[in-house]
Structure 1
Amino acid sequence: MRADAPSTLRARIDASALTRNVAAIRRTIGDRTLMAIVKGGAYGHGLEHVVPAVLGAGVRRFGVATLAEALDLDDLLTRLPHGEEADVLFWIHDATTDLVPAVARGFEVGLSTADGFVRVRDAARRTALPALVHLKVDTGLGRGGFTPAQVRDLLADLAEAGDCHDGEVRIVGLMSHLANADVPGDPATVEQKELFDVLHAELTDFLAGPGARFATGEHLRTHTANSPGALGPDEVPGDTVRVGLSLFGLSPFEEITAADLGLRPVMSLVSRVLTVKEVPAGHGASYGLTFRTDRPTRFALVAGGYADGIPRAASGQAEVTIRGQRLPVVGRIAMDQMIVDAGGVPVEVGDEVVVLGDGHTGPSAEEWAAWSHTINYEIVTRVGPRVDREAVTTDGSTPEEAHRG
Structure 2
Amino acid sequence: MTSIDTSEALVRAEIDVAALQANAAVLAERLAPARLKCVVKANAYGHGVDIVATALFAAGQRDFCVATISEALQLREILGDEVTITAWLYSSTTDLDAAVAAGIELGVSTVDSLDRLRAAAEATHTAARIHLKIDSGLGRNGLAPVDFALALKRLQTVADEPEPRLEVVGIMSHFAVADEPARPETGEQIQAFTSAHRDLTALLDATQGRLGESDRLEVHIANSPGALSLSPFPGNSARVGLALYGLSPFEDRGPTDMGLTPVMRLVSHVINVKDIPRGHGASYGLTFTAEADTRFALIPGGYGDGIPRSASNRAEVSVRGKRYPVVGRIAMDQMIIDVGDDEVAIGDEAVIFGPGGPSAAEWGAWADTINYEIVARLSARVDRREV
TM-score range, shorter chain: over 0.9
CA RMSD of aligned residues (A): 1.5
2:294 is matched with 297
User: How far off its partner does 1:211 sit?
Assistant: 6.8
Letter in 2 for 1:355: I
Change (3 A) 1:160 1:5: closer
- Mapped pair 1:199 → 2:196: yes
Instruction: Tell me the residue number matched to 2:37.
Output: 35
CA contact (8 A) 1:283 1:292 kept: yes
Aligned pair partner of 1:266 in 263, 267, 278: 263
Question: Distance between the aligned counterparts of 1:144 and 1:26, measured in 2?
Answer: 27
User: For 1:239-287, what per-residue CA distance to the aligned partner results, in whole angstroms no more than 9, with x for missing partners?
Assistant: 0100000000000011121001100000011101111111110000000
Which of 359, 372, 380 lines up with 1:377 in the alignment? 372
The answer for the alignment partner of 1:86 in structure 2 is: 83
Q: 1:6 to 1:319 in 2, by over 3 A?
A: same
Q: Distance in 2 between matches of 1:19 and 1:319?
A: 29
204-213 or 180-189, larger mean C-alpha shift:
204-213
Residue 20 of structure 1 aligns with an amino acid whose one-letter code is A
Find the counterpart in structure 1 of residue 140 from structure 2: 143
Q: Look up the equivalent residue of 2:53 and give its one-letter code.
A: V
Give the residue type in structure 2 aligned to 1:262.
Answer: G
**Are the counterparts in 1 of residues 270 and 297 from structure 2 also a CA contact under 8 Å?**
yes
Q: Equivalences for 1:147-166 in 2 at 5 Å?
A: 147-161=144-158, 164-166=161-163
Gap change, CA 1:21 and 1:328, over 3 Å in 2: same
Determine the C-alpha separation between the residues in 1 that align with 2:214 and 2:369: 45
Partner of 2:96: 99
Runs of 5+ consecutive residues of structure 1 not aligned to the other structure:
79-83, 393-405
2:223·2:238 contact (CA, 8 Å) conserved in 1?
yes
TM-score by length of 1: 0.92
Give, as a single letter, the amino acid of the residue that structure 2 aligns with 1:385: A
Partners of 2:88 and 2:348 in 1: how far apart? 44
- Provide the aligned length of Structure 1 versus Structure 2: 385
Residues 319-358 of structure 1: per-residue CA shift (max 9 Å, x gap):
1001111111100000000011110211111111001113
1: CA distance, partners of 2:265 / 2:158:
54
Amino acid at match of 1:391: E
**Aligned pairs (5 A) from 1:312-323:** 312-323=309-320
Q: Which residue does the alignment assign to 1:399?
A: none
Seen in structure 2, the aligned counterparts of structure 1 residues 211 and 94 have a Cα distance that, compared at 3 Å, is farther
Deviation of 1:235 after TM superposition, in Å, equals: 3.7
For 1:92 and 1:227, the matched residues in 2 are separated by: 19
CA 288–153 in structure 1, closer or farther in 2 if over 3 Å, else same: same
Checking the alignment, whether the CA contact within 8 Å between 2:171 and 2:217 is kept in structure 1 is yes
Distance apart, 1:383 and its partner CA: 0.7
**How far apart in 2 are the matches of 1:67 and 1:163?**
29
Aligned pair partner of 1:65 in 59, 64, 67: 67
1:363 aligns with 2:365: no
Counterpart amino acid of residue 109 in structure 1: L
**Which among 98, 107, 111 is matched to residue 108 of structure 2?**
111
Corresponding letter in the other structure for 1:174:
I
CA positional deviation for 1:163: 7.1
Checking the alignment, whether the CA contact within 8 Å between 2:201 and 2:214 is kept in structure 1 is no
Aligned-residue sequence identity (percent) comes to: 49
How far apart, CA to CA, are the structure 2 residues paired with 1:164 and 1:123?
16
Identify the range of structure 1 (129-138 vs 165-174) with the bigger mean alpha-carbon deviation. 165-174
Following the alignment from structure 2 to structure 1, what is the Cα–Cα distance between the partners of residues 219 and 164? 20
Task: State whether residues 37 and 244 of structure 1, in contact with CA within 8 Å, keep that contact through their aligned partners in structure 2.
Answer: yes
Change (3 A) 1:2 1:176: closer
Compared CA separation, residues 36 and 165, structure 1 to 2 (3 A): farther
| Aligned-partner residue type, residue 220 of structure 1 | L
**More relative contact order in 1 or in 2 (CA 8 Å, sep 6+)?**
1
Q: Distance in 1 between matches of 2:32 and 2:145?
A: 30
Which amino acid in structure 1 is aligned with residue 150 of structure 2? D
Output aligned runs, 1:243-262, within 5 Å: 243-262=240-259
In structure 1, give the amino acid aligned to 2:221: T
What displacement does 1:2 show? 5.8
Q: Structure 2: state its 5+ residue gaps.
A: none
CA contact (8 A) 1:206 1:212 kept: no
Which secondary structure does the structure 2 equivalent of 1:339 belong to? strand
Tell me the distance in 2 between the aligned counterparts of 1:57 and 1:298: 47
